[in-house]
Structure 1
Amino acid sequence: MAFQLDARSLQRLQGVHPDLAKVIHRAAALSPIEFRVIEGLRTEKRQRELVASGASKTMNSRHLTGHAVDLAPYVGGTIRWDWPLYHKLAPAVKQAAAEVGVPIEWGGDWRTFKDGPHFQLPFGGYPK
């Protein structure tokens, strides 16, 4: 199911590394479910708020440098946080990354603090 990213998602991709933005655009063409970009580039203040609330565990977030995005499935006109939907979305993002030749990491693959919405460029290939 190909779809176009909405205006808010496009705005939230501003400041995101061009390689990651390319992956997200391609994923929109491949994903079996529609999604929205929830967050891209983050301020240090916003990151501190997320750490304080427990929504993030680090001040070394890839969001601070534009190397990460958070995506959310959009079903029936509503943002959804159900884990099964991320297991439909993540393969499309990974396929998109492979097609455009950009390595990607998914927070849902992490061993601890699984983060379904989070997709990032790896530190190895994309230092700060």
Structure 2
Amino acid sequence: MELNQRSLDRLVGVHADLVKVVRRAAEISAVVFIVTEGRRTRERQAQLLAKGASQTLNSRHITGHAVDLAAVVDGEVRWDWPLYYKIAAAMKQAATETGVAIVWGGDWRTFKDGPHFELDRKAYP
């Protein structure tokens, strides 16, 4: 599958290596997905923190090192966890193929964040 124009627009300002991973994952994913967030302003991050949708003002989104993806089934955005495991599998495979180190929010021990993918801080400080 190819990313739609809205998703491509949301990748503007995102690190080129992460864009490469997202584009490849879209081609191989068993689940159709869209990009809901790419690079964010500090103001947007503060709004998300206030709503409890984030736990930090020091988000990797602000620097263009993170994206949020949403599963789409029959034209509707869905938040069922099993879908995000499939998207994560595609993202991890794409990362391996492209040699880009990523971290999935669904692998975090606390505040599991299924839609969130970021460049690994060790490789991309």
Q: TM-score range by the shorter chain?
A: over 0.9
Aligned-partner residue type, residue 23 of structure 2: H
Match of 1:19 in 2: 17
The alpha carbon displacement at 1:96 in A equals 0.3
Hey, which bits of structure 1, 4+ residues long, moved more than 3 A?
none
The alpha carbon displacement at 1:122 in A equals 1.3
- Where structure 2 has 5 or more consecutive residues not aligned to the other structure, the ranges are none
Mapping of residues 49-128 of structure 1, within 5 Å: 49-127=47-125
Q: Distance in 1 between matches of 2:79 and 2:38?
A: 17
Do structure 1's residue 40 and structure 2's residue 38 form an aligned pair?
yes
Aligned-partner residue type, residue 92 of structure 1: A
- Where structure 1 has 5 or more consecutive residues not aligned to the other structure, the ranges are none
The alpha carbon displacement at 1:123 in A equals 1.3
- Provide the secondary structure at the position in 1 that maps to 2:56: coil
Aligned-partner residue type, residue 87 of structure 1: Y
Please give the root-mean-square deviation of Cα atoms over the aligned residues, in Å: 0.5
Give the TM-score normalised by the residue count of structure 1.
Answer: 0.96
Aligned counterpart for 1:28 among listed residues 26, 38, 44: 26
Aligned-partner residue type, residue 5 of structure 2: A
Aligned-partner residue type, residue 79 of structure 1: V
Deviations 1:99-120 (A, max 9, x none): 0000010000000000000000
Q: Distance in 2 between matches of 1:33 and 1:57?
A: 27
The alpha carbon displacement at 1:30 in A equals 0.8
Q: Distance in 2 between matches of 1:28 and 1:68?
A: 16
